[in-house]
Structure 1
Amino acid sequence: MPRVLSDADVADFRARLCAAAEELFAEHGIEAVTMRQLATALGVSPMTPYRYFRDKDEIIDAVRTSAYNRFADALEAAFDAGGDAAARSIAVGEAYLDFAVDNSRAYALMFDLKDMEAPPSEGLLAAGERARACQVRHVQGLIDAGLVKGSAEDYGHVFWAIVYGFAGLVLLGQISPAEGRRLHRMACLGAIADAAP
């Protein structure tokens, strides 16, 4: 009879399995990775992952949720570091770029998956909302400081699109990370100037 697992045991194994899955998905593609390969990567029996996850779709969801939460942590830390509204806005964008470069596999799983068969879990939706809310929060700071006039939601999307584009160029090797940061700062300050009342 299998031993009873504590909550800490379950959380630890789920985290290790998600880390292994993130690597394997990035290396081989999600469709090519099997539950058996995940078990082998962790040195456990082929049935062990099923004690922690219903199926591969649930693992994909958990991997993406973890990635989005780490991403949101980075954005929130940049915002919370302080400074005036413009500095915070630039810092959030730079944290976005840094995350994309330093966690390119997780970043790809966050944004490049389309048409997933299983609907996203509440945890994944909440993690994505955390990241989106930080994009809106730094723009609200610009509005409150009188630097931008308009909708924080709309400008949140504008700023997100700007940094998403630079992250893509960096990840494709079209520009260096340093160039991405420089261009992001220039675009951010330009967007702020253009949106000024």
Structure 2
Amino acid sequence: MPKTLTSDDIQQFREAMRRVAENAFATRGAEGVTMRELAKELGCSAMTPYRYFRDKDEILAMVRAAAFNRFAARLEAVAKQPPSTDRYALSDAYVAFALDEPHAYRLMFDLAQRDEAYPELAAASQRAWQMLGAHFEKLVAAGILEGDPYLIGYAYWASLHGFTMLALANQLPLPQAQRPAGSSAPTREDVFAQIRRMLWRGAQPQRG
């Protein structure tokens, strides 16, 4: 008879599965992963994951929800600081998360799952988006930026996502640390700095 699972048992197994599954889904794609393979990588029987998850898609939703929550937490931490401290802090945190956790970032945005089937995932993705909207809402209310805060948020998101995906695909100039000595060509950091300046200036109030 299977032992009764405690809440700690469930949490520990789910976290172990999250780590294994995140790498598996990111490197092999959703269609290239099976429950049996995940069980083997965890060192458990083929049927054990079914005690914790309905199917593979539920595992994928858990992985993506965890990624969105880590992403949102990173943004929320810097959004608490006044923009006068560092007006680019939010953009920096966004890109830093993607470069620190490329597997998680790709899984967040490269896949789609039905919100009604996975409310935890829907709540996690909304947490990130609502934080961006609230952040720009405060900046507009303070007169620092001008326009629809949610439209500004979308513009920031789209621009930073484009930069991030190009960076992850190695389609941008080399980072400063990898640039040949003596080279005067733009670096990846130069491109990012230009994007940040353009986004900020484009949303500033028009004077005169």
Report the counterpart of residue 188 of structure 1 in structure 2.
Answer: 199
Structure 1 residues 40 and 118, CA gap change in structure 2 (3 angstroms): farther
- CA offsets, 1:106-125, max 9 Å, x none? 111110114x4785411111
- CA offsets, 1:61-85, max 9 Å, x none? 11110110011011101112x1336
Sequence identity (%): 40
Deviation of residue 53 (structure 1)?
Answer: 0.2
Contact 1:22–1:63 at 8 Å: present in 2 too? yes
RMSD (CA atoms): 2.0
Report the counterpart of residue 124 of structure 1 in structure 2.
Answer: 121
Gaps of at least 5 residues in structure 2 are 176-187
With structure 2 as the length reference, what TM-score do the two structures score? Answer: 0.85
After superposition, where does 1:98-137 map in structure 2 within 5 Å? 98-114=96-112, 116=113, 119-137=116-134
Report the counterpart of residue 20 of structure 1 in structure 2.
Answer: 20
After superposition, where does 1:96-175 map in structure 2 within 5 Å? 96-114=94-112, 116=113, 119-175=116-172
Contact 2:147–2:203 at 8 Å: present in 1 too? no
Structure 1 residues 160 and 109, CA gap change in structure 2 (3 angstroms): same
Taking the aligned partners of 1:22 and 1:145, their CA distance within structure 2 comes to 40
Contact 1:68–1:131 at 8 Å: present in 2 too? yes
With structure 1 as the length reference, what TM-score do the two structures score? Answer: 0.89
Q: Which has the higher contact order (CA 8 A, sep 6+)?
A: 1
Taking the aligned partners of 2:132 and 2:67, their CA distance within structure 1 comes to 17
After superposition, where does 1:36-115 map in structure 2 within 5 Å? 36-80=36-80, 82-84=81-83, 87-88=86-87, 90-114=88-112
Taking the aligned partners of 2:54 and 2:18, their CA distance within structure 1 comes to 14
Contact 2:152–2:203 at 8 Å: present in 1 too? no
Q: How many residues align structurally?
A: 193
Taking the aligned partners of 2:83 and 2:115, their CA distance within structure 1 comes to 42
Taking the aligned partners of 2:142 and 2:206, their CA distance within structure 1 comes to 10
Contact 1:147–1:196 at 8 Å: present in 2 too? no
**Rg larger in structure:** 2
Report the 3-state secondary structure (helix = DSSP H, G, I; strand = E; otherwise coil) of the residue aligned with 2:166: helix
Structure 1 residues 91 and 118, CA gap change in structure 2 (3 angstroms): closer
Taking the aligned partners of 2:105 and 2:147, their CA distance within structure 1 comes to 29
Report the 3-state secondary structure (helix = DSSP H, G, I; strand = E; otherwise coil) of the residue aligned with 1:31: helix
